[in-house]
Amino acid sequence: MDTDDRRRAAVRGSIEGLAHGDAFGERFFPLLRTEEEARALITARRLPPDPHWRWTDDTAMALDLLAVLAAHGEVRQPALIARFAATHRADPGRGYGPGMHALLPRAAAAPEGWRELAHALFGGEGSLGNGAAMRVAPLGAWFHHDLDRAAEQAARSAEVTHAHPQGVAGAVAVAVAAALAARGTLLALPEIAARTPEGPVRDGLLHAAQLPPDTAPEEAAATLGSGHRVRAEDTVPFALWCATRHPDDLPTALWATAAGLGDVDTTCAITGGVVGARGGTGALGEEWTRRREPLPEWLDEV
């Protein structure tokens, strides 16, 4: 397989894995009434009953990011925020958070002013949420040949919506993980942490690396967080812990991630995007693909 074919396969596996994880994880919100009901399904590995799995803003924004990469070969920040804004305007019911509902309509009118708009969120601190991390795995697969480039481009992709350093750090960590997965090399939390900017996200990755090998996903989620606060620091370490535990087994990786509950669509999107970059999504089987909302046909040309 030549370099371009390897990149295409890794990117396609990553976006498919991300979309599967996103749509699967989202089923645990509207369809399951209690934590006990969710855990019973997870323990038995019974798919949620809804036959139609619609993906959320996690996948919508990942597709926008891929479209910009396909058009320009790199992250062009005004083009990226304009694309995010247009997609949000066309379909705002995909589950966007309050920060994006505040930011993207303003960015639609003035995409060149993205920096001031992103920094103005949350009292001028910028968002430190998990939204930049949830969408970035395919970018890591795209730039898997150059880890420094993957980290730099991930930071650029994050800054347009998540200006807080920890929002950026979450995206960098996930992109580096996806790049390593696409290379087929050892997927190790310390190496990911070494390329992640200092702060709580990096600290969480290092903490995750020290968890005993027999730690259950529920225990890891209780220790690391699984997105209950919708911050990069309490989402990314757990999702990447799940991905690094099961780098060659996407179904097990997604079920383990779901067991952490929390922000399940986002944690599963991150895990799916990373593990999918390594081996694709074939192991999920026909039932998952039949249930999940299709991805756009233009991806075939990326």
DSSP string, 229-275: T-BGGGTHHHHHHHHHHSTT-HHHHHHHHHHT-SSHHHHHHHHHHHH
Q: What is the mean pLDDT of residues 120-132?
A: 94
CATH of 3-301, one of 3.40.50.300, 3.40.190.10, 1.10.4080.10, 3.20.80.10: 1.10.4080.10
| Cα–Cα distance, 70 to 100 (Å, whole number) | 24
pLDDT single digits (tens) 174-212: 999 999 999 998 899 999 999 999 999 999 999 999 999
| Cα–Cα distance, 126 to 130 (Å, whole number) | 12
69-74 contacts, C-beta under 8 A, 24 or more apart: 69/139, 69/142, 69/302, 70/301, 70/302, 74/153
Residue 146 phi/psi, 5-degree rounding, is: -145, 100
- Does pTM top 0.95 for this prediction? yes
Q: Is residue 31 predicted with pLDDT exceeding 70?
A: no
Q: What amino acid is encoded at 266 in this protein?
A: T
| Cα–Cα distance, 96 to 111 (Å, whole number) | 18
Mean pLDDT score of the chain: 95
**Tokens, residue 233:** 């620091």
CA 284 to chain centre: 18
pLDDT single digits (tens) 106-121: 999 999 999 999 999 9
Triad 20, 23, 25: Cα angle to 5°:
100
| Cα–Cα distance, 267 to 274 (Å, whole number) | 11
- Burial of 285 by CB count in 10 Å (0-12 exposed, 13-18 middle, 19+ buried)? exposed
Residue 132 phi/psi, 5-degree rounding, is: -75, -35
Each domain of the chain, given as residue ranges in start order, spans 3-301
Q: What is the mean pLDDT of residues 93-100?
A: 95
Q: What amino acid is encoded at 152 in this protein?
A: E
